[in-house]
Chains A and B, each alone.
Chain A
Amino acid sequence: MNSKGASTSGGDGTRDSSAPRRNSKKPKYSKFTQQELPACKPILTPAWIITSFALVGLVFVPIGLASLSASEQVVEIVDRYDIDCIPEQFQKNQLAYIQNSETNKTCTRNLIVPKKMNSPVYVYYQLDNFYQNHRRYVKSRSDKQLRSTAYEQVTDSCKPEDKANGSAIVPCGLIAWSLFNDTYKFSLDSKVLEVNKKNIAWKSDQDHKFGSDVYPKNFQSGELIGGAKLNASIPLSEQEDLIVWMRTAALPTFRKLYGKIEVDLELNDKITVVIQNNYNTYGFGGKKKLVLSTTTWIGGKNDFLGVAYLTVGGMCLFLAICFVLLYVFKPRTLGDPSYLSWNRNAAGHPS
């Protein structure tokens, strides 16, 4: 296959093939056009594979241990209160209890600190089986309206919670309308534990997504009251509970930040929480939990990453050992042409 070898042919020699051709149509040479760019061709040699699996295993196990220990350091108190906070006589009819505005919603819970908790201790509320990611729900908001008063009337996307009594609701939409409205009051040994509710929302949301000139208007004034009401004299950028709530969760089980306790909690401290149990999760079988948690570099308590790393690391080491054993006991010469099917059966063509 060498075209240069064919420059002369034929016996008559009538044409002078060595004559210079000025208008040669010969393609211009470049490594790209000839598909000859220098290339490296890594192939899966046993050495490569065994090394990389062993390496991954060796790296993953310590990371896994580190993550796991970080997760173990986190002290977490979880208290489900939605059932217990309903008085005995309403246990059969939880919905009636929660929907009745007359009933007393106050409920007291006692929590024991299992381990020393260093400040800040984050207070979360956790909702289970609450679909903030439902399509009807997640789209029912108007980012423009939240950002600036100029767009107060932009409520098209907020249906069915776009207008009440003929005028636009600010903030509109199902998300805002269903704002969580349970409240917690903490006390330690009958001394009030301050919960700092400042700076619980993302700074960027406060600065850019929620306008400082946008005030709640016409909110929760419809026939059906969803969740919390908002103080109409405070601009949205300061309504941090709302901002937190409007960062919708991607999963039906989620925690949202309620506040921070900025003192250390000692072992066996008994914390009393007075809960205003207002929010209706009884209609759809949801759960409400109060969570107190510290954090480490990896975040809150989550063993998943640590366990997963240890498992994967272990598997990799196991595979590496398997491959080594295979290599030792059943060696294959790489690239032995005798393995080629057409060299095996002399017939000449593969079948």
Chain B
Amino acid sequence: MMKRFVYINDDSSQDSYCDNRISNRKYTLLNFLPKNLWEQFSRFMNQYFLLIACLQLWSLITPVNPASTWGPLIFIFAVSATKEAWDDYNRYLSDKQANEKEVWVVKEGIRKHIQAQDIRVGSIVWLRENDEVPCDLVLIGTSEPQGICYVETAALDGETDLKTRVIPSACIGLAPEQLHKIKGVIECPNPDKDIRRFDANMRLFPPFIDNDLCPLTINNTLLQSCYLRNTEWACGVAVYTGNETKLGMSRGVPEPKLTAVDAMIDKLTGAIFLFQIVVVIVLGFSGNIWKDTEARKQWYVKYPDEGPWYELLIIPLRFELLCSIMIPISIKVSLDLVKSLYAKFIDWDEEMYDNDTNTPSHAANTAISEDLGQVEYILTDKTGTLTENRMIFRRCCISGIVYGNESGDALKDVELLNAVAKNVPDVLRFLTVMTICNTVIPIRSNSGAISYKAQSQDEDALVNAAARLHMVLISKNGNTIGVNFNGSVIQYEILDVLEFTSDRKRMSVVVRDCQNEKILLLSKGADEAIFPCAYPGQQIRTFVDAVEQYAQLGLRTLCLGWRELKDDEYEEWSHMFKEASTALFDREWKLAEVCQRLEHDLEILGVTAIEDRLQDGVPETIETLRKAGINFWMLTGDKQNTAIQIALLCNFISSEPKGQLLFINGKSEDEVVRSLERVLLTMRITSSEPKDLAFVVDGWALEVILKQYREAFTELAILSRTAICCRVTPSQKAQLVELLKSCDYRTLAIGDGGNDVRMIQQADIGVGISGREGLQAARAADYSIGKFRFLKRLILVHGRYSYNRTAFLSQYSFYKSLVICFIQILFSLFSGVSGSSLFNSVSLMAYNVFYTSIPVLTSVLDKDLTEKTVMQHPQILFYCQAGRLLNPSTFAGWFGRSLYHALVVFLISIHAYAGEKCEMEELSMVALSGCIWLQAFVVTLEMNSFTILQHLAIWGNFVAFYVINCIVSTIPSAGMYTIMFRLCKQPSYWITMVLIAAVGMGPVLAIKYFRYTYRSSAINILQQAERSRGIIFSMGTLESQLKSVEKDVASLSITQPKNRNPVYEPLLLSDSPTPTRRSIGSSTFDFFQPAQSRLSTSYSRNCKNN
């Protein structure tokens, strides 16, 4: 691995590292045009349009004015280029602002004010309170005597709590003046994007103290874009600058996601393109034959005997241009427009606004709303996603005595209160571990009240509970912890923190009790991580039972233990620990090993049980979505029992005998494989039975399976509608998503924490819950919502409508282009296959870009069923999932309709306007108006609901067609001078139009009616049901009535538990009739640990995987 050496405060050395100029720009002034054009033209559609536009410049072959293609093309390009340019300009401005910000930097021993962009690696940067950190710094001094400072890292990871950063041990005690002169070298890895890791060393040069190697971790750094808080000043050495900072390195453009609908549209476009090529070849060939046989005889055409070399190409190319409108240039613009509107509808949706946290829903990715309607698998995280992630300490078991079992709240258990009052030693030790063994920071406000800043909700719950039991954590200054117990302050000195990792599943602190100078090891962690460390001979039976019992209740359990250390034992270990923590490579692994050596022979003190309530409406949401045919997989880091309990609670799985759980587990690989095969067999046999089968697999078995038995597991995944995967790592979550995607399933991943980010990014649709664990997941996601229950509305309402609307819009766009194109082709059969255009350029362009594009855009307001009906019959989503509304066969229907309508328009026009009336411009206008009439009726027929906007767009457009053409008809130099007036005066014109409309729409209407009534789809049935209900009540009043009833019910369900509260028992009422406010907890470990260490494992794993 490459390293970089940073010489502190060394103005003389000329290093090769970049300066601190930040650049997020994609373009420069010079390369904007070529680069942007290149990007735009890398798309096939754009290349196609450009080719067509270029061919049109050749006047010999162009049927119409080139402007009719160049105009829209340039417009489309200009729009997207302007958007890019604007975005880039804004990036430039914000870069400039950041680069020119004034910062204090030490130069030649004096503090100077310079611009942020001039910071060099090795410079010492001084920050004041609330300053933004301009580059990645290694902290060397702060105003706080303990050498700590607080930073807010929201811009980096979205977490809003304050984090403590400490100065390295080597710099402790340096006076500010000394910091101006400090010299030394920092050895650190080359820039990477891991914001959870910084494995480096520092050595200060004499005269500064020792020249020992001092280890540096991420806790010694101030990363770019963080803010300094609650600290007067801090200073640090720049180690990474400019775009090489951790933030700069992790910047990247996520790969654009392509929806199934888009893929289908692309496929259809390809098919149309092939069809076009065939048409061009056939017509071009026959055109050339006709020319050689017939046109040579036609003296008035005056074909030259000898043509140029390219003569054979001319007619095919003319047809290529004539047929180029088959692929509508408007479709891209229309789709982009409606898609951004779908996204806006999600942003605007009042019913997806979360009152609790004041967060509206947000669609960060505006392009994939249709996919929401096609979801087949939902992979969900548990804690914070299904549950509230608001932890409340409920029960505990201390040295064999269980508290809180009767009342359901240990804090109100008189026995426990008595025990505390009586200073029962075991209970006090238990409380001490609860108070000290954590990374919580107490913050004292001006009024003297203490609040806690915790990265883990569990720790927060424990500390708060301890405070209620009179053991109050009052201060944490550097290495000293102050605890107020019953009025007396006890001081502890923190010697070491053995951090949590997801592999170790426990954390410990080594503290010195300042009263008696004893060294204590305090540990807490998952049962399976703590119980094996119990000293030989301790009876842990009661604790195991308690854990079992709590897990049954769905509570999260933590086991607490402690041990007194002998001084020499600690000294010896401390040495090893220091060595391991300075390691540059494999530090985490080495640390874990060293920690192992200390964490043994613990005295188990007890078990805590923390409740994590189920979010509102989770069971209903899951039930509804499962009815909609969506399969649910729960991926959690939690333990199996808890996961199963939660799954039962939220309708995820059914209890016996309706449902059955199949376990895949085993101690060895062989056992795992055998159980996998057994489960697979059971699945195959019972797949026809109406039984809810679910398989349960844990992280270890999953690892074995994914490595070697992927195929069997894939089959299982296809057979099983439900799965619970517990103890899985973030990268396994992502792997599971990948597996389902590889089976061509549309996957949606939903989660709230940093450990879900990979899964969210991997899935077709990522949904983040802007939860209590920060915004990391919500930022990485395509959609962020406030509560899990909004998912129902997101999928069933927004996803479904978006899919339906896009399905119609895209097919209609092709249909209307094909109609006009078929008319041109038919006309060419009557014009000597020479490639003349029946329509003039203006009409063609207006038809495509205006007359037929505007009305159909109002389909964004179309609703085939009311939201309520969809919610009541979620099964209807099946039509979207299976792609019933947009697939080759529906498209074939539209294709056939376009051919039929083209025939109708053309044949009726030429027969009604035969003989003396067949003047070119008149006939062309007759055919065009015939198309417009048909379009109006087609849109009307295909639209399901009409708001005022639809009426305006459809009929307004219809009127606009006549108005515009009448206006154009008054311009003498325009091609169709007086034509429209002439036509409007002829009765036969109107008779012809009505005939076209009747012949065109009659069969379509008849077939549609027949299918609607006698071969009705579920959608039709529900539409009819809505209607027949509407006959009894008027629909509006019915809905409002229901709404008010719902409101009443909702308000009841809120107030009820409150009133009942003190004895409200969060029991497992899986068949309770009113499950709205069931609250549950679970014994889980997943979220107990500080988020940052959890992440670091995921990050390191990712690195290994990649």
* Chain B contacts for A37, CB-based, 8 A: 861, 947-949
Question: Which of A10, A39, A139 has a CB less than 8 Å from the CB of B863?
Answer: A39
Interface residues on chain B, number (Cβ under 8 Å):
123
Q: Assess the A309–B991 pair: CB atoms within 8 A.
A: yes
What does the 1/0 interface line of A196-211 toward B look like (CB < 8 Å)? Answer: 0000001010001100
**Interchain CB contact under 8 A, B1014 and A349:** no
Nearest Cβ on chain A to B169's Cβ, whole angstroms: 38
Given contacts A44-B1012, A178-B300, whether A302 and B914 have CB atoms under 8 Å apart is yes
State the Cβ distance, B355 to closest chain A Cβ, in Å: 5
B1021 touches A131 (CB 8 A): no
Given the known inter-chain contacts A2-B1046, A302-B912, A347-B690, please indicate yes or no for A335 contacting B1025, CB distance below 8 A: yes
Interface string of A2-44 (1 = CB under 8 A from B): 1111111111100001000100111111000111011111111
For B831, the closest partner residue in chain A by CB is: A133
Question: Is the C-beta of A232 less than 8 angstroms from some C-beta in chain B?
Answer: no
In this complex, the member of A52, A174, A340, A341 whose beta carbon has the largest number of chain B beta carbons within 10 angstroms is: A340
Which of these, A136, A280, A308, contacts B302 with CB under 8 Å? A136
CB-CB under 8 A for A135 and B318, given A1-B789, A41-B1026, A250-B919: yes
- Given A41-B944, A299-B986, are A9 and B356 also a contact pair (CB < 8 Å)? yes
> CA–CA, A250 to B921, complex, Å?
8
Write the chain A residue with the least CB distance to B830.
A251
Chain A residues with Cβ below 8 Å from B946 are 39-42
Cβ of A256 within 8 Å of any chain B Cβ, yes or no, is: yes
The one of B299, B1006, B1023, B1050 in contact with A2, judged by C-beta atoms closer than 8 angstroms, is: B1050
Whether A255 contacts B915 in the complex (CB less than 8 A), given A135-B834, A340-B873, comes out as yes
Interface-side segment among A101-109, A111-119, A260-268, A311-319: A311-319
Interface check B832, CB cutoff 8 A: yes
Q: Are B1013 and A126 in contact (CB under 8 A)?
A: no
Contact B924 A5 (CB under 8 A): no
How far is it, in angstroms, between the C-alpha of A238 and the C-alpha of B836 when the chains are bound?
30
- A35 nearest CB neighbor, chain B only: B345
Q: Count contacts on A: residues with CB < 8 A to the other chain.
A: 110
Does B972 contact A209, Cβ atoms closer than 8 Å?
yes
Q: How many A-B residue pairs have CB under 8 A?
A: 332
Minimal beta-carbon separation of A286 from chain B (angstroms)? 9
Q: Is B561 an interface residue (CB 8 A)?
A: no
Q: A138-B836, A335-B1021 are in contact. Are A249 and B1013 (CB under 8 A)?
A: no
Question: Any chain A CB within 8 A of the CB of B24?
Answer: no
Distance (Å) between the CB of A42 and the closest chain B CB? 7
8 Å CB interface, A259-318 against B: 280, 283-285, 293, 297-300, 302, 304-305, 308-309, 312, 315-316
Interface pick from A79-87, A187-195, A213-221, A326-334: A326-334
Q: Are B390 and A39 in contact (CB under 8 A)?
A: no
Across-interface contacts of B950 in A (CB, < 8 A): 39
Least Cβ distance of B1038 to chain A in Å?
Answer: 14
What chain B residues lie within 8 Å of A349 (beta carbons)?
627, 629, 875, 878
Instruction: Evaluate contact between B1009 and A44: CB separation under 8 angstroms.
Output: yes
B-side binding surface: helix, strand, loop or mixed?
A: helix
Least Cβ–Cβ distance between B272 and chain A, in angstroms: 24
Tell me if A29 and B1014 are in contact (CB < 8 A).
no
Asked if residues B863 and A35 are in contact (CB atoms below 8 Å), the reply is yes
Q: State whether A41 touches B1021 (Cβ < 8 A).
A: no
| Contact digits for B1040-1064, partner A, Cβ 8 Å, 1 yes 0 no | 0000001101110110001001001
Alpha-carbon gap, A312 to B1036, bound state (A): 39
User: Are B1022 and A335 touching (Cβ within 8 A)?
Assistant: yes
Q: A5-B1050, A40-B946 are in contact. Are A135 and B350 (CB under 8 A)?
A: no
On chain A, the residues within 8 Å of B1024 by CB distance are 43, 334-335
Instruction: Decide if B1018 is an interface residue (CB 8 Å cutoff).
Output: yes
Q: How many Å lie between the Cα of A211 and that of B396 in the bound state?
A: 104
CA distance A6 to B354 in the complex (A): 8
A312 touches B388 (CB 8 A): no
Q: How far is the CB of A18 from chain B (nearest CB, A)?
A: 10
Scan residues 386-444 of chain B and give those whose CB is less than 8 A from a CB of chain A: 388, 390, 392
Verify if A248 is at the interface (C-beta below 8 Å from B): yes
- Cα distance A342–B874 in the bound complex, in angstroms: 10
Given contacts A35-B345, A37-B947, A135-B318, contact A339 B988 (CB under 8 A): no
Contact of B586 with A by CB under 8 A? no
Q: How far is the CB of A290 from chain B (nearest CB, A)?
A: 13
Q: Measured between alpha carbons, how far is A326 from B1006 in the docked complex, in Å?
A: 13
The answer to whether residues A335 and B1027 also contact, given A6-B616, A133-B920 and a CB cut-off of 8 A, is: yes
Whether the Cβ atoms of A337 and B915 lie closer than 8 Å is no
Which of A27, A49, A135, A174 is B360 in contact with, Cβ under 8 Å? A27
Q: Tell me the smallest distance from the CB of A294 to a CB of chain B, in Å.
A: 12
Q: Does B741 interact with chain A (Cβ within 8 Å)?
A: no
Residues 46-88 of chain A, each 1 if its beta carbon lies under 8 Å from chain B, else 0: 1001001100100010010001000000000000000000000
A252 & B875 in contact (Cβ 8 Å cutoff): no
Closest chain B CB from A7 CB (angstroms): 5
**B1007 CB to closest chain A CB, in angstroms?**
11
Complex contacts, B949 vs chain A, CB 8 Å: 37
CB distance from B23 to the nearest CB of A (A): 32
Residues in A whose Cβ lies below 8 Å from that of B300 = 130, 137, 174, 177-178, 226-227
Partner of A49, one of B295, B827, B916, B1005: B1005
A247 within 8 Å of B (CB atoms): yes
Complex contact B63–A135 (CB within 8 A): yes
* Bound form: Cα–Cα A319–B1064 in Å: 67
Among candidates B1013, B1053, B1061, residue contacting A46 with C-beta atoms closer than 8 Å: B1013
Q: Is A161 an interface residue (CB 8 A)?
A: yes
B998 interface residue per 8 A CB criterion:
yes
Q: Which residue of B lies closest to A254 (CB)?
A: B918
Interface residue? B871 (CB, 8 A): yes
Is B570's CB within 8 Å of the partner chain A? no
A174 to B834, CA, bound (A): 16
Which residues B783-822 have CB closer than 8 A to chain A?
787, 789-790, 792-793, 801
**7 closest A-B pairs by CB:** A5-B1050, A335-B1024, A335-B1025, A33-B348, A178-B300, A334-B1024, A37-B947
Query: Please, could you name 15 A-B residue pairs with CB atoms under 8 Å apart, sorted by A?
Result: A1-B792, A11-B1064, A27-B349, A27-B350, A41-B945, A124-B915, A132-B920, A136-B295, A208-B972, A247-B921, A255-B915, A284-B299, A334-B1025, A335-B1026, A341-B875
Question: Which residues of B are at the interface with A, using a C-beta cutoff of 8 A?
Answer: 63, 294-295, 297-304, 318, 344-345, 347-356, 358-360, 388, 390, 392, 613, 615-617, 627, 629, 690, 787, 789-790, 792-793, 801, 827, 830-832, 834-836, 838, 861, 863, 871, 873, 875, 878, 908, 910-924, 944-950, 972, 977-978, 986-988, 991-992, 994-995, 998-999, 1002, 1005-1006, 1008-1009, 1012-1014, 1016, 1018, 1021-1029, 1036, 1046-1047, 1049-1051, 1053-1054, 1058, 1061, 1064, 1079
